[in-house]
Structure 1
Amino acid sequence: MTNQWIEEVAGACRTAGIDYLDVIIDQAGLDRSVIPALTVLALEWQSLYQGLPEEFIVDAAPLITRVNLDDEQQMQWLQALSQQVPLLGICSSWGFSALSAWLAQCTDILQEGRGGIFRFYDTRIFPLLFTHVLSEEQQQCLLRPALFWAWQDKDGLPRGMEGVGMPALRGEISRKIELSDRQLEYLCCVSDVIIMLAHHAPPAGAYTSRQALFYDCYQGMVEATNNGIILDDAREEWVMNQLLGVARSS
């Protein structure tokens, strides 16, 4: 399924007149850095921590790299890597330096005046940014350079999102995203779901799709937040009751 996904994304890039694919690699999910492989394959790459206080963290930083779709070795490496870690792809007409600098700026956010790292490149989080977390204006930070974004969901199925794809302007910088307390709470709901699913099984026979289970749990956590339910046990109980309701109605 993963190799097929990469081939489909490569085909969509070629249809758009682009002969490369930019890929964000979250090295935090790997046992070792991919930088030596990038060097051997002569791939352009950049840390998304570039210019941030965390830029000294290179071996565990999220990296963006540009893969030549006509280079067999690079494509084989990409397919092998996709078996090890979820990848977020972006098809963009922007030059690599402009795109990597823009996305590094998107990584640098504010929350209540304090700086922080925005892990938008986590494929569990990425689609939720456009349904639950970011305002339409904030979404433009990620949509502006993209013809489209591509990833695989928790079932390994291909997912995509169309971008704006406007040409880069010389000297243009991304507006810094500032998250409200509520937006941060919605982001934290993702980790709440991951923790909950580590020790709670869904109702028997209710879910065959890991992605559907994850989404329903996330929606339940958001509702718990909106209802002022703060304690972890109470939040998990709320979500499990929601899942039981789904099981009864199915």
Structure 2
Amino acid sequence: MTTNAKEWLHHLMGEARSAGIDHLDLLLNGAVLPEALLPPLLALSPAPECQWLLEHTPEQALAHQGPVLLRIALGDQAHIAATAHLFTAVYAQFCVLALISRWPFDKLAVQLRGATQATWNKGASSGVLRYYDTRLFRHFCEQLDPEQLAPFHGPVCRWHWIDHDGKKASLCGLDINPQDHSALTGLTLSAAQVQPLHALSAALQWLKKNDCTPAQHGFTSHEALIRCLTGIHLNLSRQQLEKPQHEAFIASALSEFPPLSLTPKKAAL
């Protein structure tokens, strides 16, 4: 097990136990999860509780390519060992959204399943909301309005993931009693909520295509560069520029951030 993966797993276990919780919930992105990793976990006896979140939704046919929720028993060494193996394999692949939750597993699964279902364009469009993709998770949470925050964050004490810089990241939930919640059946998003998410996706695609480092554009982290690129793509969309103008617009916006020097300057004599 790599040091980073081992430290993260121990950190998550400590967080759960500090909250008086004897399990750890893992929301795995089935679209990028290597096929060989899940069967050993599910073959354990007893096996972790498991739910594919796109089951019982309009996307049920694609359920095993979508998010899967597992509950790992912290008192079961076989569960811990299999989780350690999984963490090592996918540590920096944006595959694991971990959460600390007191909710009964079935109720938690219902709530997280409901959050995968979104409508937008005043109800004219619908589809899967990929909040479980940890490249998108923080940005998605920032778009939620007060009425959406409670049902989404209510079941969770704290969310945890690995960010674009390979560092531990986390966000507080609300830790609300499940009896105070009705089941979440979907989220309705406004244009103002959808546009930043489209901009983020475009920013990530641009970054992958151009394969540049944060320092080349004056940033000290991938997270900061991605946030900047998201703002640039949002402005690009608002100005309704034609596609041939996109690269020039992005290059001009990035030119405002001079590259960072990675070589320490010599002290003056």
Q: Is the pair's TM-score, using the shorter chain for normalization, greater than 0.5?
A: yes
Change (3 A) 1:218 1:76: farther
Query: In structure 1, the residue corresponding to 2:245 is in which secondary structure?
Result: helix
The question of whether the paired residues in 2 share the 8 Å contact of 1:47 and 1:55 is answered with no
2:42 corresponds in structure 1 to: 39
Letter in structure 2 aligned against 1:143: H
1:102 aligns with 2:114: no
Residue 218 of structure 2: aligned partner = 206
In structure 2, runs of 5+ residues without a counterpart are 262-269
| 1:111 counterpart = 2:120 | yes
Q: In the alignment, what sits opposite 2:77?
A: 72
Is the alpha carbon distance of 1:231 and 1:38 closer, same or farther for their aligned partners in structure 2, counting shifts above 3 Å? farther
TM-score normalised over the length of structure 1:
0.88
Q: SS at the partner of 2:155?
A: coil
Q: Would the aligned equivalents of 1:154 and 1:210 in 2 still touch at CA under 8 Å?
A: yes
What is the correspondence of 1:191-202 to structure 2 with a 5 Å cutoff?
A: 191-200=201-210, 201=212
**Change in 2 beyond 3 A, CA 1:52/1:240:** same
Counterpart check, 1:182 vs 2:185: no
Cα displacement (A) at 1:180: 2.0
Paired residue type of 2:24: L
Q: What CA distance in whole angstroms lies between the structure 2 residues aligned with 1:30 and 1:19?
A: 25
Does structure 2 retain, via aligned residues, the 8 Å contact 1:26–1:63? yes
The root-mean-square deviation of aligned C-alpha atoms, in Å, is 2.4
In the alignment of these two chains, the number of paired residues is 248
Q: C-alpha distance in 2, partners of 1:184/1:81?
A: 32
SS of structure 2 residue aligned to 1:172 = coil
Deviation at 1:206, TM superposition (A): 2.7
The 2-side partners of 1:20 and 1:139 are apart by 24
Per the alignment, residue 148 of structure 1 pairs with 158
Match of 1:157 among 157, 167, 172: 167
The equivalent of 1:19 in structure 2 is 22
Q: Does 1:4 align with 2:7?
A: yes
Q: Distance in 1 between matches of 2:182 and 2:144?
A: 21
Residue 130 of structure 1 is matched in structure 2 by: 141
SS of 1:59's equivalent in the other structure is helix
- Residue identity (%): 25
Task: Quote how far apart the aligned CAs of 1:242 are.
Answer: 3.0
Aligned to 2:254: 243
- After alignment, is 144-153 or 134-143 more displaced? 134-143
| Offset from partner CA, 1:186-243 (integer Å, 9 cap, x none) | 2111221122113333563734422222222122222333x42443453443333333
Structure 2 length normalisation: TM-score? Answer: 0.83
Moved more, 228-237 or 177-186: 228-237
Structure with the greater alpha carbon radius of gyration: 2
Aligned to 1:234: 245
- SS of residue matched to 1:28: coil
Displacement of 1:129 after TM fit? 1.6
Contact 1:2 1:156 in 2 (8 A): no
- Aligned mates of 1:234, 1:81 — CA distance in 2: 43
The code of the aligned residue for 2:66 comes to A
Structure 2 residue matching 1:56: 3-state secondary structure: helix
